[in-house]
């Protein structure tokens, strides 16, 4: 079957990397695995060997003849855009796996957070450049709103980088397998306010924090900065997560 560009179809064909993904997944038989974008089933076939309930969401109905052969009592395949999934009712621990289309990596992760699935692990293949952004440290240009937003929910680990030749068709860029583990010690905050603060702080990255946060009570923010020996002229990219948490709590 011809791969469809519009669905970001780059099928994994190299067993070395399929094994790296499968081996990095920690599941028990009473867990639920959710696969996003099973494609031609390269990962799905191997996920079935984990002996858990498995639900896969594939947007491309033309893959039905291939994927339907994988359905059994514990494997369900839905031909649906994952971004339109409103609810996944389960009391099981969830592990999410996906070799994601690169253009919707961030919306998919945002959707996972919005669905409140609280997965214990998310193992995803993303464009290497995007992985670098997710894993970025402060004082780098990659560090931004989404780095901090993901960090609030997950501890992130790079499993391996994957070259273009591991896929058919080969993408133009390097890829990276990331493991996102549920963070158990999340700071207690109002997460809607926190998300808005992060978005606003990085609205224009080159601007000073105070110029991005003109709608906030700057005297309170200044107090936190001073307490942490930081200048009033800092940019958001210089601030660690702890400082943003202190700020949102103060506000
Ligand atoms: N998992 C397979 C593999 O590793 O070979 C396929 C990976 S391919 C990069 C991405 C897959 O996600 C494609 O099969 C594509 O049709 C599917 N897809 C794209 N957008 C999707 C969406 N919004 N929801 C569900 N599946 C999607």
Residue with the nearest Cα to atom 17 of ligand 1?
37
- Helix spans in the chain (H): 15-23, 42-47, 64-67, 105-114, 128-134, 145-153, 191-201, 209-212, 218-227, 241-250
- For residue 11, the cross-strand partners are 168
Task: Answer for the pair 64, 79: CB distance below 8 angstroms, yes or no.
Answer: yes
Give the start-to-end residue ranges of the domains of the chain.
5-182, 191-250
Tell me, what's the pLDDT at 101? 87
Residue 48 buriedness (CB in 10 A; 0-12 / 13-18 / 19+): middle
Tell me, what's the pLDDT at 2? 86
Q: Do domains 5-182 and 191-250 have the same CATH topology?
A: no
Tell me, what's the pLDDT at 7? 93
> Which H/E stretch holds residue 123?
strand 121-127
- Among 39, 61, 100, name the best residue to mutate to test ligand 1's pocket (greatest count of ligand atoms within 8 A of Cβ): 39
How many angstroms is it from 80 CA to the middle of ligand 1? Answer: 11
User: How far apart are the two ends of the chain, measured CA to CA in Å?
Assistant: 55
Tell me, what's the pLDDT at 6? 92
Interval 180-192: pLDDT, tens: 999 999 999 999 9
Residue 160 buriedness (CB in 10 A; 0-12 / 13-18 / 19+): middle
Measured from the Cα of 10, ligand 1's closest atom is 9
Q: Which of 248, 214, 67, 175 is nearest to 54 (CA)?
A: 67
5-182 carries CATH number 3.40.50.150: yes
Q: Cα–Cα distance between 37 and 97 in angstroms, integer?
A: 9
Residue with the nearest Cα to atom 20 of ligand 1?
7
* pLDDT beneath 70, residues of the chain: none
Phi, psi (rounded to 5 degrees) for 112: -60, -40
Tell me, what's the pLDDT at 91? 95
**Architecture of the domain made up of 191-250:** Orthogonal Bundle (1.10)
Tell me, what's the pLDDT at 120? 97
How many angstroms is it from 201 CA to the middle of ligand 1? Answer: 33
Tell me, what's the pLDDT at 205? 84
Residue with the nearest Cα to atom 1 of ligand 1?
38
- For residue 125, the cross-strand partners are 99, 177
**Tokens 């099928």 found at:** 11
Interval 4-46: pLDDT, tens: 999 999 999 999 999 999 999 999 999 999 999 999 999 999 9
How many angstroms is it from 98 CA to the middle of ligand 1? Answer: 8
Tell me, what's the pLDDT at 12? 97
Measured from the Cα of 18, ligand 1's closest atom is 4
pLDDT above 90 as % of the chain: 96
**Residue-wise burial string across 72-91, b where 16 or more C-beta atoms lie within 10 A, e elsewhere:** eeebebeeeebeebeeeeee
Return the structure tokens found at 237. 């990219």
């Amino acid at each position: 079957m011809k791969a469809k560009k519009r669905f970001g179809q780059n099928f994994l064909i190299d067993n070395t990397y399929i094994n790296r993904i499968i081996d990095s997944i920690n599941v028990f038989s009473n867990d639920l695995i959710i696969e996003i974008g099973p494609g031609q089933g390269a990962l799905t076939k191997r996920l079935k060997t984990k002996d858990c309930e498995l639900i896969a969401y594939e947007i491309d109905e033309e893959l039905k003849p291939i994927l339907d052969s994988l359905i059994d009592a514990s494997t369900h395949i839905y031909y649906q855009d994952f971004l339109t999934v409103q609810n996944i009712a389960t009391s099981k621990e969830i592990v999410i796996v996906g070799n994601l289309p690169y253009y919707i990596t961030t919306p998919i992760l945002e959707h996972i957070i919005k669905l409140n699935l609280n997965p214990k692990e998310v193992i995803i293949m993303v464009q290497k450049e995007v992985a670098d952004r997710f894993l970025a440290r402060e004082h780098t240009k990659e560090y931004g709103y989404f780095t901090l937003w993901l960090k609030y929910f997950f501890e992130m680990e790079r499993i391996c980088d994957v070259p273009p030749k591991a896929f058919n068709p080969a993408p133009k860029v390097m890829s990276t397998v990331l493991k996102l583990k549920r963070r158990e010690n999340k700071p207690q905050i109002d997460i809607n306010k926190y998300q808005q603060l992060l978005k606003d702080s990085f609205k224009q990255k080159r601007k000073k924090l105070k110029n991005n946060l003109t709608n906030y009570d700057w005297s309170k923010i200044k107090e936190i900065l001073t307490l942490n020996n930081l200048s009033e002229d800092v940019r958001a990219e210089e601030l660690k997560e702890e400082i943003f948490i202190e700020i949102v709590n103060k506000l």
